[in-house]
């Protein structure tokens, strides 16, 4: 079974565009959608409404920076300070080009920082490349669950 992609996005337009882009990339991974940082942490830690979800971590977390309740930097900090989560690849997917956001994201251990392209075709290509790299091509750390991957 493939590991899911966790998409943390509160903006309905960006959410829809990201889902369309992931669909066009033809990845077989399930996409789990959460709309704020608190729910992302609940999902990752199997707490709250996600307490009963299956064990295992997502293949990658696509994380928006500016989120309600708990912002993306706080989510990233929590992921990197939790032993069971710290090896999950996290990609900051945001519209912020602020140098301080980029620097702080890397200081907290983000794997990649991607500024959302404004033009639709660029956005689709960027998301497809992200999904393909992190969900299919990236080699997980030794000892993590390795799953079969399929191309469609």
The answer to whether position 149 is within a domain reads no
Confirm if 64 and 39 have CB atoms less than 8 A apart: no
CA dist 135 and 151 (Å) reads 11
Domain that holds residue 132: 5-137
Please tell me the total count of domains within the chain.
Answer: 1
The answer to whether position 24 is within a domain reads yes
Confirm if 71 and 102 have CB atoms less than 8 A apart: no
Q: Higher-confidence residue: 123 or 56?
A: 56
CA dihedral angle for residue 118, residue 34, residue 152, residue 120, rounded to 10 degrees = -10
pLDDT at 149 over 50: no
Residue 40's pLDDT band, with cuts at 50, 70 and 90, is: very high
Summarised one tens digit per residue, pLDDT across range 27-38 is 778 999 999 999
Collapsing DSSP states into helix, strand and coil, what is residue 104? helix
Residue 45's pLDDT band, with cuts at 50, 70 and 90, is: very high
The answer to whether position 148 is within a domain reads no
Summarised one tens digit per residue, pLDDT across range 76-134 is 999 999 999 999 999 998 888 899 999 999 999 999 898 877 677 887 777 777 766 66
By mean pLDDT, which of 63-67, 95-99, 101-105, 139-143 is the weakest? 139-143
What is the chain's alpha carbon radius of gyration, rounded to the nearest angstrom? Answer: 14
Q: Going by DSSP bridges, is the β-strand pair 90-94/31-34 parallel, antiparallel, or unpaired?
A: unpaired
Q: Convert 40-78 to b/e letters by CB count within 10 Å (16 or more is b).
A: bbbbbeeeeebeeeeeebbbbbbbbbebeebbbbbbbbb
The answer to whether position 79 is within a domain reads yes
Q: Select from 135, 145, 147 the least CA-distant residue to 26.
A: 135
Task: Take residue 105 and report the two structure tokens written for it.
Answer: 């994201």
The answer to whether position 143 is within a domain reads no
Percent of the chain with pLDDT over 90: 55
The answer to whether position 152 is within a domain reads no
Read off the pTM.
Answer: 0.84
Residues 6+ apart with CB under 8 A from 115: 94, 95, 96, 97
The answer to whether position 54 is within a domain reads yes
CATH number at residue 97: 3.40.50.2300
The answer to whether position 98 is within a domain reads yes
């Amino acid at each position: 079974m493939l590991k899911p992609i966790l998409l943390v996005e509160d903006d309905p337009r960006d959410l829809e565009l990201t889902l369309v882009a992931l669909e066009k990339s033809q990845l077989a991974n399930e996409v789990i959608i959460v709309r704020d940082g608190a729910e992302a942490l609940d999902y990752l830690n199997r707490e709250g409404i996600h307490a009963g979800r299956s064990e295992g971590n997502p293949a990658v977390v696509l994380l928006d920076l500016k989120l309600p309740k708990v912002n993306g930097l706080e989510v990233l900090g929590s992921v990197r300070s939790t032993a069971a989560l710290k090896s999950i690849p996290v990609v900051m997917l945001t519209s912020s080009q602020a140098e301080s956001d980029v620097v702080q994201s890397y200081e907290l251990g983000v794997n990649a920082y991607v500024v959302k392209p404004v033009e639709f075709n660029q956005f689709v290509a960027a998301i497809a490349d992200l999904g393909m790299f992190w969900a299919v091509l990236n080699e997980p750390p030794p000892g993590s669950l390795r799953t079969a991957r399929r191309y469609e």
